[in-house]
Structure 1
Amino acid sequence: MSLAAEATESTRPAGTVRWTVVLAVVLTAVLEVLDSTIVNVALPHMKATFGITNDQTIWILTSYIVASVVVMPLTGFFARRFGRRRLITVAIVGFAVFSALCGLSWSVEVIVLCRLGQGIFGAFLIPLSQSILFDSFPREKRGQAMALFGLGVIVAPVLGPTLGAILTEYFSWRAVFYVNLPIAAFALFMMSGELRRGETRKVSIDWTGLGLMVAMIGALQLVLDQGETRDWFSSPLIQVAAIISAVSGVLFVARGWGLSTNIIDFSLFRDRSFAAANFAMMGFGLAMFGTIAVLPLFVQGLLGYPVLDAGYLFMPRGIAAGFSMVITGSVLVRRFDPRMLVAMGLLLTGTGNIALGWLNLNAGFWDLAIPGVVSGLGMGLFFVPMSTLAFQNVGPDRQDEASGIYGVTRSIGSSIGIAIIGWQVASRTQFHWSVLSSHLTAFNPNVWRYLQPLGLDPTTAEGAGQLAAQLSAQAAMLAFQDAFTLTGWAAFAMLPVVLIMQRPTKIAAAPAH
């Protein structure tokens, strides 16, 4: 940091918000989470470019997620070892470099390796951004900090499919990676000279704990990402991965619970608010990310929406979530018990998701968008006060590590949600197909009534084909209804967790600056 910057830092009044840093770290958070959903829309185009199978296409997604989830808990360790400013600068540059390499990739092997690099460097961005935001705001304004952070972490993945659809439709799938470059450059520019140089210290590495943690999280993520594709536990790979994850997880916790040098500080979970918030965030991941992941498949694959229309469908949800976060962070969180706001957020999220389960094959744009708006409002009411409650007892010296753990919980929760909802759609489609098909016979008068206006006969190939197509569509519709209903009840199931959390102590409002 320059002498001028240091002088400015030393004379800055206490409680002053450094908005250049705030903007930089919010953009940094956007970098990481946007990449988790913006790529989804472009996958069919990548598949065509590289001539690859569905399994190989999935690895483009999973390589990023696995690398990110494995490295994210190490944020506190690396921040202590190298300093927060140096770490976030290297992370932004590394993420941008690997983003450019992803866009230049000429084979699936290259893009998977580059996605691993993106995940490794991107893993630090969310926890560090959250920690820096907490330091940039005085305690009485932390609701505002979490609202700004939520705009990046929650709204960006919601709008990711929309941006991905636009870039893919009008440019190329490679543009979904190149869009990261100007965002990274602007974030670095805004951050330069403003971010304080943190103290560094020699930290010993617990290699045994690190190995156990990597095995636990990596194997779990493999099970979640590949389980549905490989028919879950009928696959030897999934069986082995599940055993590795379970055994290494038990050993990691048993060995490290009272170990001061463990790679993860388990004493953070002695704070009931932090522990409950992590559990609730995991359940909310199923409710939110499970729905967001399956919606494009629903509206494009079943309802036949074009790519752009499917992308635009996420805009009302994203706008509602952003509005809710700003109002919650700037007004509501200071006037109401944050636990009440979290409960209201869960109720709205669950209600919006269940409303999606009431739709049919004739659903129009606003039939789909309005439940999304309700869920979006719930997202803002949940995320901002939940983050405030989670970190209310966490000191500045443990902020980076706590943020890393919180980020991993959110990522694993989203992976669990996506895996469960994907499995739910597939299995329930088969179930409903079996039930419905048992009623479709040439002796059923309703079958004749359905085909008669079309001039078809159920005993002919054309008539049987029409029945089969309608049967498949109805079975899939019922399966999606079941999946959306499940995500709604998952949100409701987190309501009792709110009772475990401590109510924050009242803080007198600080004078405006």
Structure 2
Amino acid sequence: MTAEKVRWSVVVAVVMTAILEVLDSTIVNVALPHMKASFGITSDQTVWILTSYIVSAVAAMPLTGLLARRYGRRRLIMTAIIGFAAFSALCGASISIGMMVVCRVMQGLFGAFLIPLSQSILFDSFPGEKRGQAMALFGLGVVVAPVLGPTIGALLTEHFSWRAVFYVNLPVAALALSLMAGGLPKEDVKPAPIDWTGLVLMILAVGGLQMTLDLGESRDWFASRLIQVCFALFLFAGAAFLARGIGNPRNVIDLRLFRDRSFAAANIAMTGFGLAMFGTLAILPLFVQGLLGFDVLTAGYLFMPRGLAAGITMVLTGAVLLRKFDPRLLVAIGLLMTGVGNLQLAHLNLNAGFWDLAWPGVVSGIGMGLFFVPMSTVAFQHIAREHQDEASGLYGVVRQIGSSVGIAIVGWQVAQRTQIHWHTLAGHISATDPQAQHWAQVMGLPLASPEAAAQLTQMIAQQAQMLAFRDAFILTGWGAFVMLPVVLLMSRPRPGAGAPAAAH
């Protein structure tokens, strides 16, 4: 595929395809309480609605390159869109948790190929000197969509039903499919042998790691036998996959891609960025709704300034900044601003209002825009065209695992630090404490009364959670800062060599 033959209808279609998949990963979160009530299930069972999708998607995503070579990009991405839309409809029509989980697994399997294929098609749609514009368009789907997902999910759930968060995929998929059918050219395909042993080992390793990250917090990590089994599966299957895959040209994934220092460094940085960005996005709804008392719509609107800042910055970066500045400098500034925005959240208190929370989000959103576009450009600058789909699949897996690592670490941090702060704060209160006595006098309650004890317990719980969230925001801020040295490992792109097609 050459840039001259690609129509803008295809560009629009693949951007919509990227939005379709990524939006679904966060839009569902807001509707989970309604699904829980509808199905009459427990919180542990509710987690499977998210986990089933993520695990299946992450396990299938590395196969993008193999299947694209075997069946062609056009056939694979159109099949993936149709399958994703069909199982989205079935998710919306689910009448039990069992049906929902099965449909979410299948939705994840088809959705796994949408992001990598969208990225590689966009790369081929632009000449080398305009790769930044391609990544800006791609970033609008991959980064801005999940930020705005909670807002859209809140609106659909509040005004329609939780089922609407799945049905909304259908018109988007139909439009993307119609645009793609008329503009995406067919390709010659070659028989590609499948390394079944490597395939099974890879799925077991990636699936075991993802299950560990997704279920670890709710099951008290390694106190759970399930988590022990999943983590052991990840270790042994991962070690076996690497041992037989290194130097094996028929391996299901060409591990030689990681010999490119820019690609390897970009994957490392993306993992750290997952902690900084996705970790923060995961706990913000809990912070503003559970602790500060925001309603679901206000909590959803809170993400809009962040998303708009990220989108505007991405377009500006792709169209202007990449032509004037070293991409590595932009990546470094993006990491700094993301970290600073998160640290600003750590200075809030229980009286924080909407814009107290929104402005730090704007700072982090600008950082996201500055980070994502040049990072993707640098990552793929030396990847040959025939390996684009495979590299995009690996990059997508790392991005997803990085977000899961971030969510798991931050969730664990909030839970652990809440307990620590609770014991610290409670240990300072006694019947002889002057401050406690003064508070009781102001409230007009005997300090030893049940009413005073109940109110003190509530106040301590709120303060402990507030301090725990502060600790988590500090952690995510430094998660961005510690990735700065990784930028030094990347090589500077040559002029006009912003992507694989130009480099080769």
Normalised by the length of structure 2, the TM-score is 0.97
- Per the alignment, residue 354 of structure 2 pairs with 365
After TM superposition, list the pairs within 5 Å mapping 1:277-426 onto structure 2: 277-426=266-415
- 1:450 shift after superposition: 2.2
After TM superposition, list the pairs within 5 Å mapping 1:48-67 onto structure 2: 48-67=37-56
Letter in 2 for 1:196: P
Mean CA deviation greater in 230-239 or 342-351? 230-239
Letter in 2 for 1:305: F
After TM superposition, list the pairs within 5 Å mapping 1:94-243 onto structure 2: 94-243=83-232
Instruction: Give distance in 2, aligned partners of 1:395 and 1:406.
Output: 15
Instruction: Give distance in 2, aligned partners of 1:62 and 1:415.
Output: 10
Letter in 2 for 1:24: A
Where 2:189 maps in the other structure, the secondary structure is coil
The structure 1 residue matched to 2:248, chosen from 259, 263, 273, is 259
1:455-505 superposed Cα distances (whole Å, 9 cap, x missing partner):
222210000100000000000000000001100000001000000000001
After TM superposition, list the pairs within 5 Å mapping 1:13-92 onto structure 2: 15=4, 18-92=7-81
Instruction: Give distance in 1, aligned partners of 2:408 and 2:7.
Output: 40
Which segments of 5 or more consecutive residues in structure 2 lack a partner in the other structure? 499-504
Q: Return structure 1 stretches of 4+ with deviation > 6 angstroms.
A: none
1:404-449 superposed Cα distances (whole Å, 9 cap, x missing partner):
0000000000000000000000000000001000011111111122
1:75-106 superposed Cα distances (whole Å, 9 cap, x missing partner):
00000010000000000000000000000000
Normalised by the length of structure 1, the TM-score is 0.96
The structure 1 residue matched to 2:264, chosen from 270, 275, 278, is 275
- 1:201 shift after superposition: 1.2
Q: 1:52 to 1:374 in 2, by over 3 A?
A: same
Where 2:293 maps in the other structure, the secondary structure is coil
1:388-408 superposed Cα distances (whole Å, 9 cap, x missing partner):
000000111110000000000
Where 2:28 maps in the other structure, the secondary structure is helix
Contact 2:94–2:100 under 8 Å retained in 1: yes
Letter in 1 for 2:145: A
Contact 1:16–1:137 under 8 Å retained in 2: no
Letter in 2 for 1:189: S
Q: What is the aligned residue count?
A: 498
Contact 2:328–2:374 under 8 Å retained in 1: yes
Where 1:192 maps in the other structure, the secondary structure is helix
- Per the alignment, residue 444 of structure 2 pairs with 455
Instruction: Give distance in 2, aligned partners of 1:291 and 1:451.
Output: 37
- Per the alignment, residue 478 of structure 1 pairs with 467
1:143-174 superposed Cα distances (whole Å, 9 cap, x missing partner):
00000000000000000000000000000000
Letter in 1 for 2:263: F
Mean CA deviation greater in 485-494 or 447-456? 447-456
- 1:198 shift after superposition: 1.6
Q: CA RMSD in A?
A: 1.2
- Per the alignment, residue 3 of structure 1 pairs with none
Instruction: Give distance in 2, aligned partners of 1:448 and 1:311.
Output: 41
Letter in 2 for 1:135: D
Instruction: Give distance in 1, aligned partners of 2:362 and 2:299.
Output: 15
Identity within the alignment, %: 68
Instruction: Give distance in 1, aligned partners of 2:219 and 2:496.
Output: 52
- Per the alignment, residue 501 of structure 2 pairs with none
Letter in 2 for 1:158: V
Where 1:177 maps in the other structure, the secondary structure is helix
Instruction: Give distance in 2, aligned partners of 1:356 and 1:17.
Output: 44
- 1:17 shift after superposition: 5.8
- Per the alignment, residue 6 of structure 1 pairs with none
Letter in 2 for 1:95: F
- 1:196 shift after superposition: 1.4
Contact 2:6–2:183 under 8 Å retained in 1: no
